[in-house]
A and B are shown apart, each in its own frame.
Chain A
Amino acid sequence: MLLSVTLTLLEGLAVTLELFGLTLLFALPLGLVISFGSMSRCAPLRWVVKTIVWVVRGTPLMLQIMVVFFGPGLLFGLPLPQRFTAAVVTFVINYSCYFSEIYRGGIQGVPVGQQEAGLVLGMTKSQVFFKVTLLQIIKRIVPPMGNEFITLVKDTALVRVISVYEITWMGETYIRKGMIWPLFYIAVFYLAVNGILTLLLGWLEKKMDYFK
C-alpha cells in the first residue's frame, strides 16, 4: 500500500517539479527585464511596469491561475489553453514580478561608488556590470531568492484549481477513497525538495562568503 501510494505521489511530484523548473527557467530572466523596466529613466514605462508589478503582487495567485485558464473561454469564447501551459504562464508572470523586486533591491543595494570606481579605471559599462557589480548583486539576492524558491515549491499546489494533477491533488484523491494519511504523507515530499533546495542555497551562500 505504502509503495503504491508513494508511486502515485511521485507521479504528482514530477508535475510539481516540472512546474517549478519551468517557472524558474522563464521567470528568472523575465524578472530581470521587468526590474530594468521598473528602474527605467522613461517615466511612462516605469509607471506601467510598476503598476503591473503592483497588480500581480497584490492579487491572489490562485485567482490569477483561474483568470489565465478560464478567461479566454469565458470572456471571448476562445479555445482554452492547455491546463499545464496556463499554470506555467501564470507562475512565470507572478514570480517574475516578485523576482524583479528582488533584483531591483540587489542592483540598487550595490553602492554607486563601485560603478564609479570601475568607470574611472576606464572600464566600459558592460565590463563594470559583469566584472564588478554582478557578483555583488548575486550575493545580495541569493538569500531572498532562496525564500522565493521555497515558497514557489509550495505554491505549485494551487494549480489544482484548474485540475493540474500535482502532488497535493494526488494526495487529496485518496481522501475521496477514505484514506487520509497520504495527504499528510505528501509533506515528506515537499520537505525533501525544500531540504535539497536549502542545502543548495546554503552552499551557494557559503561559496560567496569570502567577501563582504
Chain B
Amino acid sequence: MAILDVQHMEKHFGATRVLEDISFQMEQGEALAIIGSSGSGKTTLLRCLNFLETPDQGKIIVNGETLYDAGDPATQRESEVRKKRLHFGLVFQSFNLFPQYTALENVTLAPRLLAKERPDFKARKKEILEEIRSQGRSMLERMGLGDREGHYPHQLSGGQQQRVAIARALAMKPDILCFDEPTSALDPELTGEVLKVIRELAEQKTTMIIVTHEMAFAREVADQVIFMDQGVIAEQGPAHQVMDHPKEERTRRFLARYAEGMGEA
C-alpha cells in the first residue's frame, strides 16, 4: 500500500488556480523530487500537505487513512488538524528556527509540549524529558552539530541553521518529511553540507518530498520526479527517466534552460 496517496487536489487563491488536478502516490522509503519553475505551484502543494493551506478539492490519504477530503467536512475539523499534521514534517526555505531558543531547545520544544499530553507524563516527567533531551542530542549529532547544541540560531551559519531545522522536523518522527527548497536561501558554499545531510537521509530510506532547484541533486537522490508547470503535474516518473529522457516538450525546455545555467535560482 502507498504511504501517501494524493487524489485530484485543487487549490485556488481567488480567481487564480494554483493547483489543478494533482494526483500522485509514494511508497514507504521513497524520495520524491518536485521540480518546476517559480510559481508552478510546488510550494503550495507542500503547504497543502502540511495543512498550512486548505485544498479546495481532492483527498490526502496516508497509510490508508483519509486525512483530508474536500467533500467531507468531518475531516476538516480544526481540532484534529493538529494531530494530522504530525504525519508530515516540513523544512522551510528560510529555516524559521525559533530565535530565542538554543539549537537543542529548538529540536526538543515540540516533543516536550506533545509529551505533556501523555497520560503517564506526571508520573514519569523527569524520565520522559531526559529521553526527549537525549533524542534531540542524537538528532543534532546525526546532523553533525553535536558541538553546537547550546548555540542560538544567530550564532550559527545558514547551513548549520538549516541542519538544525531538519533535526527539529525529524524529532517529531513524521511519516513523510517535506523540504521546501532547502538550499535556496543559502550561500552557494553552504549548500553542500545541507545536501549531504539530505542524501544521508535518503540512504537511510527516509520517506521524503523535496521541492528543489538543484537538478543534479534531484537526479542523484530522488527515486521519483514530478515536474510541475502552471499548477499541473506536467510529467512524473522514475528520476532517471524524467530527468534524462523527458517525454514532454515543456519538461525538455525546462531542463535545457537549467543545463545552460540560465534557470532561476
Interface of A toward B, CB cutoff 8 Å:
111, 113-114, 116-124, 127, 131-132, 135-136, 139, 208, 210-212
Instruction: Establish whether residues A123 and B110, one from each chain, have CB atoms under 8 Å apart when the complex forms.
Output: yes
Query: Distance (Å) between the CB of B47 and the closest chain A CB?
Result: 8
| Chain A residues closer than 8 Å to B94, beta-carbon distance | 111, 113
| A122 to B153 alpha-carbon distance, docked (Å) | 21
Q: Which residue of B lies closest to A135 (CB)?
A: B100
| A121 to B168 alpha-carbon distance, docked (Å) | 8
Instruction: Establish whether residues B99 and A120, one from each chain, have CB atoms under 8 Å apart when the complex forms.
Output: no
The listed residue (B51, B97, B113, B152) touching A131 by CB distance below 8 A is: B113
| A114 to B110 alpha-carbon distance, docked (Å) | 13
Q: Which residue of A lies closest to B110 (CB)?
A: A121
Instruction: Establish whether residues A117 and B114, one from each chain, have CB atoms under 8 Å apart when the complex forms.
Output: no
A121 and B100 in contact (CB under 8 A), knowing A113-B94, A116-B92, A210-B152?
no
| A120 to B50 alpha-carbon distance, docked (Å) | 7
| A132 to B169 alpha-carbon distance, docked (Å) | 16
Task: Scan residues 24-43 of chain B and give those whose CB is less than 8 A from a CB of chain A.
Answer: none
| A13 to B85 alpha-carbon distance, docked (Å) | 56
Instruction: Establish whether residues A212 and B110, one from each chain, have CB atoms under 8 Å apart when the complex forms.
Output: no
B253 within 8 A of A: no
A117 and B100 in contact (CB under 8 A), knowing A122-B172, A123-B110?
no
Q: At the interface, is chain A mostly helix, strand, loop or mixed?
A: helix
Instruction: Establish whether residues A119 and B153, one from each chain, have CB atoms under 8 Å apart when the complex forms.
Output: no
Interchain residue pairs A-B with the least CB separation, the first 3: A121-B110, A117-B96, A113-B96
A124 and B89 in contact (CB under 8 A), knowing A119-B52, A212-B154?
no
Task: Scan residues 83-115 of chain B and give those whose CB is less than 8 A from a CB of chain A.
Answer: 83, 85-86, 88-90, 92, 94, 96-100, 109-110, 113-114
B250 within 8 A of A: no
| Inter-chain pairs besides A131-B113, A132-B98, A136-B99, 16 sampled, C-beta below 8 Å | A113-B92, A114-B96, A119-B85, A121-B110, A121-B172, A122-B83, A122-B86, A122-B172, A123-B110, A123-B113, A124-B82, A127-B113, A131-B109, A210-B152, A211-B153, A211-B154
Instruction: Establish whether residues B172 and A116, one from each chain, have CB atoms under 8 Å apart when the complex forms.
Output: no
Instruction: Establish whether residues B83 and A114, one from each chain, have CB atoms under 8 Å apart when the complex forms.
Output: no
Q: How many residues of B contact A (CB 8 A)?
A: 27
Q: Which residue of A lies closest to B82 (CB)?
A: A122
21 residue pairs of the A-B complex, CB under 8 angstroms, read A113-B96, A114-B98, A116-B52, A117-B92, A117-B96, A117-B98, A119-B51, A119-B82, A120-B90, A120-B169, A121-B109, A121-B110, A121-B169, A122-B172, A124-B82, A131-B109, A132-B98, A139-B100, A211-B153, A212-B99, A212-B152
Instruction: Establish whether residues A111 and B153, one from each chain, have CB atoms under 8 Å apart when the complex forms.
Output: no
| A113 to B89 alpha-carbon distance, docked (Å) | 14
Instruction: Establish whether residues B99 and A211, one from each chain, have CB atoms under 8 Å apart when the complex forms.
Output: yes
Instruction: Establish whether residues A111 and B96, one from each chain, have CB atoms under 8 Å apart when the complex forms.
Output: yes
| A113 to B92 alpha-carbon distance, docked (Å) | 8
| Chain A residues closer than 8 Å to B152, beta-carbon distance | 210-212
Q: Which of B83, B96, B97 has the most CB of A within 10 A?
A: B96
| Chain A residues closer than 8 Å to B154, beta-carbon distance | 211-212
Task: Scan residues 110-127 of chain B and give those whose CB is less than 8 A from a CB of chain A.
Answer: 110, 113-114
Instruction: Establish whether residues B52 and A120, one from each chain, have CB atoms under 8 Å apart when the complex forms.
Output: yes
Q: Which of A111, A122, A212 has the most CB of B within 10 A?
A: A122
Q: Which residue of B lies closest to A132 (CB)?
A: B98
| A119 to B113 alpha-carbon distance, docked (Å) | 12
Q: Which of B50, B51, B90, B100 has the most CB of A within 10 A?
A: B100
Query: Distance (Å) between the CB of A169 and the closest chain B CB?
Result: 45
| Chain A residues closer than 8 Å to B52, beta-carbon distance | 116, 119-120
Instruction: Establish whether residues B98 and A120, one from each chain, have CB atoms under 8 Å apart when the complex forms.
Output: no
Q: Which of A113, A117, A208, A211 has the most CB of B within 10 A?
A: A117
| A139 to B110 alpha-carbon distance, docked (Å) | 22
Q: Which residue of B lies closest to A113 (CB)?
A: B96
The listed residue (B89, B113, B114) touching A120 by CB distance below 8 A is: B89
| Chain A residues closer than 8 Å to B153, beta-carbon distance | 211-212
Query: Distance (Å) between the CB of A129 and the closest chain B CB?
Result: 13
Q: Which residue of B lies closest to A122 (CB)?
A: B86
Q: Which residue of A lies closest to B101 (CB)?
A: A211
A211 and B100 in contact (CB under 8 A), knowing A120-B89, A122-B110, A122-B172?
yes
| Chain A residues closer than 8 Å to B90, beta-carbon distance | 120
Query: Distance (Å) between the CB of B109 and the closest chain A CB?
Result: 6
| A116 to B91 alpha-carbon distance, docked (Å) | 11
